A and B are shown apart, each in its own frame.
Chain A
């Protein structure tokens, strides 16, 4: 279970999270919606340990463990995964090499053995085609020359291989065409499981047609201001965030 209590975080002098509370039990998918700049990406960065973000108050635990006390790579090994809003390019490092390095690094941190080459290849072959990741994309540099949609699908491939226990998806739907949206949604749904919690950040109801959330939260100015069922997303699609004192962006 992810439990966030009264979380305050700042970057420089700018306080962005201002007392955020959020609980996601294992097995559930929660969506966060909210206007631009409300702090959604910030929340994902704070949970995954991006430097420069300073937590000034509050707590965040996952299965009782204080994740804010861990180094970013330790959080990853503990099962925290962030599908980035803007995935990063690493020229010259083959996607395959990166995937394997990541898997092995996490295994090492957990005191497990490295994955063997055949096992690794088997895994990749089992997951990549469903996500429309081609051999060529596996050989190319990480995200280098990938289209916006390809980058997002590549994030989901990483998630599928690393099998994290807390999945945070930051606008994974943005930039996806209709077919890719379905592919990504299928990838995410395949990972839904009783011992996994998911946090899906999105602006659009259409993603939630495919990944039906257990709970929808509205984030505004660094706090969760409203929570409801899947129908809340539909309502927001109708009325926007005007009720929260926000003009259309």
Chain B
């Protein structure tokens, strides 16, 4: 059998039982009644001890959502979602007050995922491997269960806490920025999120502060039939810098689970935000059963002059991904970047890309997208680059490469470009290639196995993007790439 054919067969036989994060944590949880209504929203808001203004904000979003149609333009297909069939809030019983009070089962879960929650362990574990420290916020179903290094961050004036806490403790900041990048009425899923979001992270870096460590949030969906609607808000004030990492996993379940997050980034004058994601939600089994629906709205606003926002994503999980981390380049000379690796296998469907909206003068953006499709999957890059009338000197460079493994998968590139002023310079490159028989044989002849060969070639293909990730994440991402393309060969 030709080598590529054989690889394809193996990948096809992929048994997603290999998804090593697919275990369930056995804990008692407290849930809102199933389904969605104003009562559900009041329940969530009450659980979070929210002020009145927050409840009103949610209810307005909900009423708006009721009038909105589900979007259908993405190149993905799935049975109609019954929004009444989900739980919109689930929390481990007895919320912990400190790390020592966290249910040991949850701590174990994060340990299994390789995420140290105890600061001491975090120090030991992460410092020894990479040299830098990472503060972690862990979100389990609908609530944040622990945030590490809080005190040390506070010393630098950095606020890093669950957004539910920020709503109570820093209402002015939250009020000023929440919904200012992704308006409540932005799109169907963002509006739904605005109504029912339960937790997520809040970050504020004050003027002139370079955040002393990487910040990171790990999202974990555990409960059955539970939607996760996290909301993240990151503000880098003038001259501030922060690098933020996001990771996600979920147990293996036969039903599809809904994940509809909203992430808003605000970069003021001279500020820089680097946002990295390693998304590894459960992708479903080999027949396409189960898996997470990942409908996410991520947007950054380069609000001040000379600001910079950079998105890096490694997407390997989810049954369906619908996600376009974008930049609004409002400030003059602001810069937006999007680096993406999207891998689809089995019956996964990915429709992902970015929007770079050039509004300010001399703004520049850079898009590097690497899509890898295997199995029966469909992988679409969808991107928009636009320059406003006043965005003189706007520049964009886009490079979109697709790699196909086998012949039952598809890769598609859908670039939109709109330049409303003549001085804009947009450059677009796109390639589609296959792993060639000759490349594979060359590797095999040198002693690599099929799987090692495929992983090596794919890692080479995505190298430009991997280099953008912080060290620790790059290593993790590299392993993840190998695992997500693995066949069932032992």
Residues of B within 8 A of A81 (CB): 445
Produce 1/0 per residue, A155-170, CB < 8 A to B. 0001000100000000
Residue in chain B with minimal CB distance to A71: B444
CB neighbors of B among A31-82 (8 A): 48-52, 71-73, 75-77, 81-82
A44 CB to nearest chain B CB (Å): 10
Taking a contact as CB atoms under 8 Å apart, the answer to whether A88 and B2 are in contact is no
Determine if B441 is an interface residue (Cβ-Cβ < 8 Å).
yes
Q: Do A76 and B442 touch across chains, with their CB atoms under 8 A apart?
A: no
Interface window among A17-25, A100-108, A115-123, A131-139: A100-108
Q: Across the interface, which residues of B come within 8 angstroms of A88, CB to CB?
A: 436, 438-439, 442
Q: For A225, what are the chain B residues with a Cβ–Cβ distance below 8 Å? A: none
**Interface 1/0s, chain B 439-472, versus A by CB < 8 A?**
1011111111110100011011111100000000
| Count of chain A residues with a beta carbon within 8 Å of a chain B beta carbon | 32
Which of A48, A89, A90, A92 contacts B445 (CB under 8 A)?
Answer: A48
B446 touches A92 (CB 8 A): no
B437 at the interface (CB under 8 A from A): yes
Residue of B nearest to A103 (CB): B447
A141 contacts chain B at the CB level, 8 A cutoff: yes
Option from A52, A76, A158, A162 in Cβ contact (under 8 Å) with B2: A52
Q: Separation in Å of the B343 CB from the closest CB of chain A? A: 15
Q: Is A91 touching B456 in the complex (CB atoms < 8 A)?
A: no
Asked if B449 contacts A92 (CB within 8 A), the reply is no
- CB of A51 within 8 A of CB of B439, answer no
Q: Are B2 and A105 interface neighbours, CB within 8 A?
A: no
Find chain B residues with CB under 8 A from A105 CB. Answer: 446-449, 452
* Contact, CB under 8 Å: A102 / B447: yes
Determine which of A49, A50, A87, A98 lies in contact with B456 in the assembled complex, contact meaning CB atoms within 8 Å: A98
From 12 to 54 in chain B, residues with beta carbon under 8 angstroms from any chain A beta carbon are none
Contact B459 A73 (CB under 8 A): no
- Candidate in B6, B450, B460, B462 with the most chain A CB atoms within 10 angstroms: B460
* Set of chain B residues within 8 Å of A52, measured between Cβ atoms: 2, 437
Is B1 part of the binding interface, using a Cβ–Cβ cutoff of 8 Å? yes
Neighbouring A residues of B449 by C-beta, 8 Å: 73, 105
Instruction: Report yes or no: B445 in contact with A82, Cβ–Cβ below 8 A.
Output: yes
CB within 8 Å for A72 and B445 given contacts A51-B1, A51-B437, A52-B2: yes
B74 in the interface (beta carbon within 8 A): no
Q: A109 near B: Cβ within 8 Å?
A: yes
Q: Is B422 an interface residue (CB 8 A)?
A: no
Nearest-Cβ distance from residue B403 to partner chain A, whole angstroms: 11
Q: Name the residue of chain A whose CB is nearest to the CB of B4.
A: A51
The answer for the CA separation of A84 and B444 in the assembled complex, in Å, is 13
* B151 within 8 Å of A (CB atoms): no
**B residues 410-455 in Cβ contact with A at 8 Å:** 436-439, 441-450, 452
**Measured CA separation A71–B449 after assembly (Å):** 9
Question: For the complex, what is the distance from the CA of A89 to the CA of B439, rounded to whole Å?
Answer: 7
Summarize B's interface: helix, strand, loop or mixed: helix
B3 near A: Cβ within 8 Å? yes
Question: Which residues of B lie under 8 Å from residue A141 when comparing CB positions?
Answer: 460
A163, chain B: closest CB distance, angstroms: 12
A121 and B134 alpha carbons, distance in the complex (Å)? 31
Closest Cβ–Cβ distance, residue A113 to chain B (whole Å): 15
Known: A50-B441, A51-B2, A72-B441. Is A90-B456 also a contact (CB below 8 A)?
Answer: yes
CA–CA, A184 to B344, complex, Å? 43
Instruction: Tell whether A90 pairs with B439 under 8 Å between CB atoms, given A51-B2, A105-B452.
Output: yes
> Are B459 and A92 touching (Cβ within 8 A)?
yes
Q: Quick one: CB contact mask for B133-166 with A, threshold 8 Å, 1 for yes?
A: 0000000000000000000000000000000000
In the complex, residue of chain B having the shortest beta-carbon distance to the beta carbon of A92 = B460
Q: Which residues of B contact A90 (CB under 8 A)?
A: 439, 442-443, 456-457, 460
A93 in contact with B441 given A73-B447, A76-B446 (CB within 8 Å) = no
- Tell me the nearest residue of chain B to A80, going by C-beta: B445
Residues of A within 8 A of B450 (CB): 73
- Measured between beta carbons, the chain B residues less than 8 angstroms from A71 are 444
Residues of A within 8 A of B441 (CB): 50-51, 72
Do residues B448 and A102 form an inter-chain contact, with CB atoms below 8 A? Answer: yes
Would you give the 0/1 interface string for B231-268, flagging 1 where the beta carbon is closer than 8 Å to chain A?
00000000000000000000000000000000000000
Task: Determine the distance from Cα of A22 to Cα of B452 in the docked complex, in whole angstroms.
Answer: 33
Q: Which residues of B have CB within 8 Å of A49?
A: 444-445
Contact B3 A51 (CB under 8 A): yes
Asked if B442 and A73 sit within 8 Å, CB to CB, the answer is: no
Name the CB-closest residue of B to A72. B444
Most chain A C-beta atoms within 10 Å of own C-beta, residue among B436, B443, B450, B461: B443
Give A196 to B3 CA distance when docked, in angstroms.
Answer: 29
Query: What residues on A are CB-neighbors of B461 within 8 Å?
Result: 91-92
Chain B residue contacts of A89, Cβ below 8 A: 439
User: Which one of A51, A97, A158 contacts B446 once the chains associate, using CB atoms below 8 Å?
Assistant: A158
* Distance A51 CA – B9 CA, assembled complex (angstroms): 15
Residues of chain B within 8 A of A50, CB atoms compared: 441, 445
Give the distance in Å from the alpha carbon of A81 to the alpha carbon of B445 in the complex. 7
Q: Write the chain A residue with the least CB distance to B436.
A: A88
Chain B residue contacts of A75, Cβ below 8 A: 445
A73 touches B448 (CB 8 A): yes
Closest to B3 in A: A51
* A76 B444 Cβ-Cβ under 8 A: yes
- Do the beta carbons of A87 and B442 come within 8 Å of each other? yes
Taking the nearest CB of chain A, how far is it from the CB of B457, in angstroms?
Answer: 6
Are B445 and A93 in touch, CB under 8 angstroms?
no
| A71 CA / B440 CA spacing, docked (Å) | 13
Question: In the complex, what residues of A have CB within 8 A of residue B444's CB?
Answer: 49, 71-73, 76
Is there an interface contact between A91 and B460, defined as CB atoms closer than 8 Å? yes
A-B residue pairs, 10 tightest by C-beta:
A92-B460, A93-B460, A106-B447, A102-B446, A76-B447, A92-B463, A88-B442, A72-B444, A105-B447, A51-B2
Interchain residue pairs with CB less than 8 A apart (16): A48-B445, A49-B444, A49-B445, A50-B441, A51-B6, A71-B444, A72-B445, A77-B447, A90-B456, A91-B460, A91-B461, A92-B463, A93-B456, A98-B456, A105-B452, A106-B446
Q: Give me the interface of B with A, judged by CB distance under 8 Å.
A: 1-3, 6, 436-439, 441-450, 452, 456-457, 459-464
Known contacts A76-B446, A92-B461, A93-B456; 7 further A-B pairs (Cβ under 8 A): A51-B2, A51-B437, A51-B441, A72-B445, A73-B449, A141-B460, A162-B447
Which residues of A are interface residues toward B (Cβ below 8 A)? 48-52, 71-73, 75-77, 81-82, 84, 87-93, 97-98, 101-103, 105-106, 109, 141, 158, 162
